Structure 1
Amino acid sequence: MSDTTIEGPVLIFGGCGFLGHHLVREFARATPTPKIFAVDVNTERNRNPEATYLTANILQRDEIAKIFEQVKPQVVLHTISPSPFEVNHSILEKVNIVGTENIVECAKAVGTVRAFLYTSSSSVVHNQRQPMIEATEALPVLFSPDQPEYYSHTKALAEKLVLAANRQNGMLTAVIRPAALYGPGDGQMTTNVTKQALTGRANIRFGDKSYLYDTCYVENCTYAQTLIVKALLEASTSAPLPADKKIEGEAFFVTNDEHIPFWNLSRLVSELLGSPVPDDQVRNIPIWFMKTFAFLGSWLYWIFSLGRKQPKLTPWVVRLLTMERTLCIDKIKTRLGYKPKFNNRQGWEKAIEWAVPKIKAEKGGKTA
């Protein structure tokens, strides 16, 4: 682990989003605390008194260029992305490709950036068809048509843009690929799993196997990002390291370093809420039934929304929930000394402290 101090301004794109606002908190806890600037289209949420907030649209390069000239950052972290479940190809292309290109080009042009870290996705190496078991960063990044999911295809293209900019105008770049993120402020995985537990559905499982899965508590991810940034800053003042020690121009998986059966997540949350689910109460729903149900539901959504909406449960989602998806994080542990600060259970304890009151408030206090 590097002892490098982050002294220059830190510019966080998506600084009011789920991951982004936790990154603001992570850097705000540093001693000494660097100047922190958070960029978002909506800067009225998830604010931190230690940060300065700037409203901008990453699709407008002139707006982004002005911010770079104003801030003159030493460190840039780019976390902006549509949801993995976004089906609108135009949105995915604009945000993940055009937006990333705008940020990268402005970062190169300003001449002050020494460390640039992009938050990608572990899905960029997964073909979504076969299980992904102990995947490493040595696997090739997949693009369409080898990559059937357009979200992952656009994230892969964004990665390519970022890594291609390494060592240009003094800027070192890297990519972090978190497993499924959860934690306070997450309206997707955290909210959905907690709702399942609160409504008494933690005993439901698709298929008859416990598919191993990797997740990443958000504060483990932000901690890993500080390790990468510090290593990039240190490397920016020296010759490139040997290939087996490099940080710049590299991608890193990050997880809780704890494979868990996916369908045990809601059972864990239910247990933490005081309602453990014994093994003999688990109900196995056949995969073929769920795929058929999801297929019919998707068609009905498509017909009645004129193709503009997609249900939460699709055949693709069923497929992902019934296959193993695990990662090997030896690379980030070996090169950066990464050790998760929170295990899976500790992460969920913190996550439901946020999620339960939010869900109850939305339901008017009702949980079932």
Structure 2
Amino acid sequence: MATLEGKSLGHVLVTGGSGFLGNHIVALLASRKACSKLSVLDLKQPLKPVSGVDYHMGDFTDYDAILALLQKLKPDAVVHTASPVHNIPSKKVLYTVNVEGSKNLIRASQEAKVKAFVFTSSASVIHDLRSNLIMADETYPLIMGKQQPVYYTATKAMAEQHVLASNRTAAHPKFLTAAIRPSAMFGEGDVQLLPGAIGAYYRGQTKVQLGPNDNLFDFTEITNVAHAHHLCLAALLATREREDGGGAMPLDHEKVDGEAFFITNDCPVYFWDFMRSVWATAGDKTDINKVWWLSTDLGLFIATLMEWIFWILRLGTPKLTRQQVQYSTIARYFNIEKAKTRLGYEPICGMDEGIRRGVKDALYRGVVPGQPMELKGKKWE
């Protein structure tokens, strides 16, 4: 386990550093003065650049370009968060960016003598969207190929597999890698989970739920995910420094390189309790005793019917899909003991505080479908 106190990570490059998670990692590292230099690679500039950070526009699916940039910057470490959003329809884009792009970054990092590489994976890489996950841990196998119903997740699993296989190779024995698997991220800057959830409140859908709400689920506040990346990077670099100094390699029970780590708020909640906390924070006053629920089977039937109608009429994606029904009625929570013992991870932002911050921020930015426009830019007490 690495300590964060007074130890510089050197020069760190964060891919996707203008995005949701990447920006939080950059802001956290900058606030902690954790790096001698901090750089970002992204396709776009951030809305609010972090002071003192060098931003570079670029595409890591172009191997020659990314190699040239890494050889110029000479970072000590790379944190790879960049990825398309999970629901884009193009499988080609997902594979090109998540798999081929990650392979490019690994290869270029090795050639540029990067010491440590942390990859942002997903907790969904072990989930088939049908089976309950109860205290699931890192011993569970990756779900890939035909068994994985979500292509985005399949590409994340393929990329993670390559990243971890690139740890301590014969050609690059000092190149260390690890993967962070966050579950259902939410928080300030959220463009998916919270805006969609709050939108249901403004559509008047808070009196209905799918299933009996007996499924525990792990949601993870974004600051905690950023914190876990910092811990993981610090541990990899500490391992490298110890070995360069002639120290012993880490024992199996303390090893971080070549490993994956689930990250959650360590506080699984019933799925619809989380949603109702979000809605209540936005202003919902629905009486829980007046809520009625659809069975999972009925929900799947309705969703299937809507998907077929929307497909036939070429209307896009309906508001209710089979994947959403499955996601909201299944138990999915994780054992994060490995992250606790090897990384020293503990959540630094609780669930209630994270929901309060995230809902406030989403409405302030005006990214919630159907929200009153007078709430955009409005300061909350």
Shift of 1:6: 2.5
Structure 1's 360 and 11: CA in aligned 2 closer, same or farther, altered over 3 A?
closer
When the two chains are superposed, the root-mean-square deviation of aligned CA atoms in Å is 2.0
Partner of 1:101: 103
Deviation string, structure 1 residues 137-180 (Cα, Å, up to 9, x no partner): 01111221232322221111101111111124322100000000
Distance 1:303 1:289, change over 3 A: same
Specify the alignment match of 1:74 in structure 2.
76
AA aligned to 1:100 is S
Structure 2 match to 1:340: 347
Aligned residues: 364
> 1:40-119 to 2 correspondence within 5 Å?
40-111=42-113, 113-119=114-120
Distance 2:312 2:55 in 1: 41
Q: Give the deviation of 1:279 after TM superposition.
A: 2.5
| Range that drifts further, 346-355 or 82-91 | 82-91
Q: Report the counterpart of residue 162 of structure 2 in structure 1.
A: 161
Render the CA deviation track for 1:53-103: whole Å, top value 9, x for unaligned: 111112111111121011111110001122222342211111111110111
Alignment of 1:277-292 (within 5 A): 277-292=286-301
Verify the 8 A CA contact 2:9 2:234 in the aligned structure 1. no
Q: 1:327 aligns with which of 326, 330, 334?
A: 334
Distance 2:303 2:120 in 1: 30
Give how far 1:128 is off: 1.7
| 1:250 partnered with 2:252 | no
Q: In the alignment, residue 331 of structure 2 is paired with which amino acid?
A: E
Tell me, in whole angstroms, the C-alpha distance in 2 between the residues paired with 1:334 and 1:276. 41
Tell me if 1:318 matches 2:325: yes
CA contact (8 A) 2:19 2:46 kept: no
Task: Give unpaired runs (5+ residues) of structure 2.
Answer: 376-381
Given candidates 353, 373, 377, the residue that maps to 1:365 is 373
Report whether the alignment pairs 1:218 with 2:226. Answer: no
1:303: how far off? 3.1
**2:151 maps to what in 1?**
150
Return the alpha-carbon distance in structure 1 between the equivalents of residues 41 and 249 of structure 2: 31
Q: Tell me how far apart the structure 1 counterparts of residues 48 and 142 of structure 2 sit (CA, whole Å).
A: 33
Contact residue 126 and residue 142 of structure 2 kept, 8 A: yes
1:241 paired residue number: 250
Candidates 268, 271, 275, aligned match of 1:266? 275
Q: Which runs of 4+ in 1 moved over 4 A?
A: 360-364
- State the identity as a percent: 33
Q: CA deviation at 1:33?
A: 4.2
Instruction: Tell me how far apart the structure 2 counterparts of residues 256 and 304 of structure 1 sit (CA, whole Å).
Output: 41
1:174-207 per-position Cα deviation (integer Å, ceiling 9, x unaligned): 0000000001111110111222234443332102
1:27/1:33 contact within 8 Å kept: yes
> 285-294 or 181-190, which moves further after superposition?
285-294
Q: Which residue of 1 aligns with 2:206?
A: 202
1:124 shift after superposition = 0.7
**SS of the residue 1:145 aligns to:** helix
**SS state at 2:254 partner:** coil
The CA distance in 2 between the partners of 1:192 and 1:210, in whole Å, is 22
Aligned partners of 2:103 and 2:85: how far apart in 1? Answer: 19
**Counterpart contact for 1:191–1:359, Cα < 8 Å:** no
TM, length-normalised to structure 2? 0.90
